[in-house]
Amino acid sequence: MSVNLDVLQAHLESALAGKIESSVIALGELTVEVASQNWLEVAAFLRDDSVTSFEQLIDVCGVDYLAYGESEWDNSGSGFSRGVKREFSFDGSDDPAEAVEFEGKRFAVVIHLLSIKHNHRIRIKSYCDDNEFPVMDSVEGIWNVANWFEREAFDLFGIMFNNHPDLRRILTDYGFVGHPFRKDFPLIGHVDMRYDEELKRVVYEPVSIEDRTLVPRVIRTDQRFSPAVEGND
C-alpha cells in the first residue's frame, strides 16, 4: 500500500529529528537533505524502518554546483539562444583573476531510493564538506548495487567514497587526467587520443581543438517569422 508523501515526510522529520537538514515535496517528489556525518545513519534507517522500507537503490550521482545559475548563453527571445562572451573563466585558463570564486559547498551526492513494499520513492542529498577533496561515506555496505554508481561519481566528479571496496575509474581510461563532469573541466578536454598504425597502439597528444563559444545559426528560406508577414506581429 502506497504511503502518502506528506505522511512519509512527517514520519522522517519525527524519527530523524536532528539528522535532517531539510525536506521538500515538489513536483510530486520528496527530497531530503542530510549532513554528511549523518549520511550512513539516515541511509540505514531508510532501508530498515518498516514505514520507509527503501530496500532498493536506483541511482547514485554526483553534482557540481560551480557557477550554478550562470550561463554562456543568452536567450534574447528570438527563438533560440546565442553564445555570449564569458564574464568568467570556468577553469581559470584565460586569466586567474577572472576564475570562478565559489562560496559554499560545491559538491553533493544524491541517491534515489525505491520501496517496492510501499510503492514510494525518495531522493536523499548531502553536500561534501571539503571542496578541494570531496569525500562521502560509501553506502555500498547498505545497498550493494551502489558499488558501480559510486565508482562513476568518483570517475566523473572526483568524489571519494570512504570504505568503498574497489574505488577506481569505470568510464574513462586508466591514465585519464581530471574528472570530465566537473564544471571547470574544459569541454575540449586536455588531450587528443588516436590509434597509431605504425606504433600499433593508442597515443595521446596535446589537444588540437580551439576553445570557443559556439553560436548556433538558423537559416530559413521562408518568411514565417518576418514581422512583415500578416499574422506575425
The pLDDT value given to residue 191? 83
**What sign does the CA torsion over 206, 208, 209, 211 have?**
positive
**What number of other Cβ atoms are within 10 A of residue 164's Cβ?**
19
**Mean pLDDT across 216-222:** 60
In this predicted model, what pLDDT tens digit does every residue of 129-175 receive, in sequence order?
999 999 999 999 999 999 999 999 999 999 999 999 999 999 988 77
Q: CATH number of the domain at 5-66+106-169, please? A: 3.30.460.80
Per-residue pLDDT at 18 exceeds 80: yes
* Three-state DSSP class for residue 120: strand
Per-residue pLDDT at 231 exceeds 90: no
The pLDDT value given to residue 207? 81
Distance (Å, whole) CA 134 – CA 216: 36
In this predicted model, what pLDDT tens digit does every residue of 2-12 receive, in sequence order?
568 999 999 99
**What number of other Cβ atoms are within 10 A of residue 202's Cβ?**
11
Q: What values do phi and psi take at 148, rounded to 5?
A: -70, -35
Per-residue pLDDT at 124 exceeds 80: yes
Which contacts (CB < 8 Å, 24+ apart) does range 39-45 have? 39/109, 39/126, 39/136, 39/137, 39/139, 40/137, 40/139, 40/142, 42/16, 42/124, 43/111, 43/124, 43/139, 43/142, 43/143, 44/142, 45/15, 45/16
Per-residue pLDDT at 77 exceeds 60: no
Per-residue pLDDT at 183 exceeds 70: yes
In this predicted model, what pLDDT tens digit does every residue of 79-98 receive, in sequence order?
555 555 454 444 444 443 34
Where do the structural domains in the chain lie, given as residue ranges?
A: 5-66+106-169
